[in-house]
Amino acid sequence: MYIVPDYSTAVLLCIVTMLCWGSWANTQKLAGKTWRFELFYWDYVTGILLFSLLSAFTLGSHGTAGRNFLEDLSQATGGNIASALLGGVIFNAANILLTAAIAIAGMAVAFPVGIGLALVLGVLINYIGAASGNAALLFVGVALVTVAIILNAQAYRKMSGNNGGISSKGIWLSIAAGVLMSFFYRFIAAAMDLNDFVHPAAGKMTPYSAVFVFSAGIFVSNFIFNTLLMKKPFAGPPVSYADYFKGKPATHLVGILGGMIWGLGNSLSLIAAGKAGAAVSYGLGQGATLVAALWGVFIWKEFRHAPKGTNGLIAGMFLLFALGLGTIIYSGK
């Protein structure tokens, strides 16, 4: 299987993860013009599962280093499989809330608040679980990101007041998503031997097997979470499975593409964790917040009607996010 050779390569993969995790939601925005997010989400989780299989039978099955995918999966213990599955369930609950927040409040709000919060809490959780890198620099980076989140919340508050009081539901959904999202990565990382992908401990999984089990957890739990949401949505009337099957093939493909983009980022993040450490790899990946905010502000124009003074808050948010991510990268050297 493919194994990352050094820290620099690991950082490069984490940057690709950041781009993927910050860009997949564009497919939701595209599909959302004619397609409810609850219906989009079925295609999205299908895309995640499909990419995990593609990755497992290509990068995870070729080469001389480490165990190949099927061999690795067959020797994994029940506890490690359960840990990766639980990570998928937790992620799915969090991501459904995030997707709902995107539909209500937009990418420029949902990502900085939800994923920014997940970055702050998740880095702490993953560092406690597997300490790696310079703790002082890591936490300085997290502090900078925290201030960036606060600036974004203030910008959203100003915009809400300018538009007659936009519902705060999007903010609260983002916060709930961020708290849940901060825990999922630790459960996948716990199922792997982060210290040695070449000769992983017996019973532990390689990133490719862990990603597949994690993705299966997302897909299976969706039959519970998304079915409930379809019947009792956060906004709008209920939708049904019949509505899903009425969708056009092109609309379904957009959702599957979104899932595969996120799945690519997830795979690269976990592959990089062996050299970068779980805290740094997760933290950089969640820099997706900055990427998504750029999409939301400059492409989707989500703050175009914002009042005077909002642009300064948004600029400050971008600057602090960039400084925070740079500090997190440096902490791992």
Express as a percent the part of the chain with pLDDT over 70.
96
Which range, of 91-95, 150-154, 311-315, averages the lowest pLDDT?
Answer: 150-154
CA 189 to chain centre: 15
Residue 207 has pLDDT above 90, yes or no: yes
- Residue 321 confidence class, pLDDT cut points 50, 70, 90: confident
Total domain count, the chain: 1
Name which residue leads in pLDDT, 226 or 161: 226
Q: Whole-number mean pLDDT of the chain?
A: 88
- Residue 218 confidence class, pLDDT cut points 50, 70, 90: very high
Residue 290 has pLDDT above 70, yes or no: yes
Average pLDDT over residues 149-163: 72
pLDDT of 53: 97
Give pTM, 2 decimals. 0.85
Burial 191-218 (b: 16+ CB within 10 A, else e): bbbbeebeebeeebbbbbbbbbbbbbbb
Q: Report if residue 155 sits inside a domain.
A: yes
Alpha-helical regions (H) of the chain: 7-23, 25-31, 37-57, 69-75, 78-105, 107-110, 116-129, 135-162, 169-190, 207-231, 241-245, 249-276, 278-285, 288-294, 310-331
Residue 292 has pLDDT above 90, yes or no: no
Q: Report if residue 1 sits inside a domain.
A: no
pLDDT of 160: 64
pLDDT of 52: 97
Q: Report if residue 255 sits inside a domain.
A: yes
- What are 230-274's pLDDT values in tens digits? 999 988 899 999 999 999 999 999 999 999 999 999 999 999 998
List, as one string, the DSSP characters of 102-152: HHHH-HHHHIIIIIHHHHHHHHHHHHHHS--S-HHHHHHHHHHHHHHHHHH
Q: Report if residue 233 sits inside a domain.
A: yes
Express as a percent the part of the chain with pLDDT over 90.
50
Residue 65 has pLDDT above 80, yes or no: no
Q: Report if residue 62 sits inside a domain.
A: yes
- What are 17-53's pLDDT values in tens digits? 999 998 988 998 889 888 998 999 999 999 999 999 9
pLDDT of 162: 57
Distances in Å between the Cα of 108 and the Cα atoms of 23, 141, 201, 289, 298 are 12, 21, 42, 8, 10
- Residue 164 confidence class, pLDDT cut points 50, 70, 90: very low
Bridge partners, 192 (sequence order) = 205
pLDDT of 158: 76
pLDDT of 163: 53
Domain that holds residue 30: 7-331
Residue 4 has pLDDT above 60, yes or no: yes
Q: Report if residue 260 sits inside a domain.
A: yes
Q: Report if residue 2 sits inside a domain.
A: no
pLDDT of 270: 92
Average pLDDT over residues 48-67: 91
- What are 83-112's pLDDT values in tens digits? 999 999 999 999 899 888 888 877 667 777
